[in-house]
Amino acid sequence: MNMNDIKVGQKVKVLTIEGKGAEKKLFDIGIMTGAQLELVSRHPFRGPLVIKVGNAKVALGRSVAKQVRVEAI
């Protein structure tokens, strides 16, 4: 599953990042293979997802979130 498929409050672990374009950007904000994430909120009307990465919260566009493959923990 990808980040768009998880529910608010669910914690996941990153398996892979598909697509080369977003890989460096995601790495810079702490989203990499093995990282643990939590979905804080989902903005309406195809808006961004707010993800908790460590102690930080970041907004992630849905097209980028689709490239992050995760598994529930």
Q: Which amino acid is at 5?
A: D
Torsion sign (Cα): 56, 59, 64, 66: positive
- pLDDT reported for residue 37: 97
pLDDT 10s per residue in the chain (73 long)? 999 999 999 999 999 999 778 888 899 999 999 999 999 999 999 899 999 999 999 999 999 999 999 999 9
Ordered domains of the chain (ranges, CATH): 3-72 (2.30.30.90)
Question: How far is residue 63's CA from residue 46's CA, in Å, rounded to a whole number?
Answer: 10
pLDDT at 20: 78
Max Cα–Cα distance, the chain, nearest Å: 30
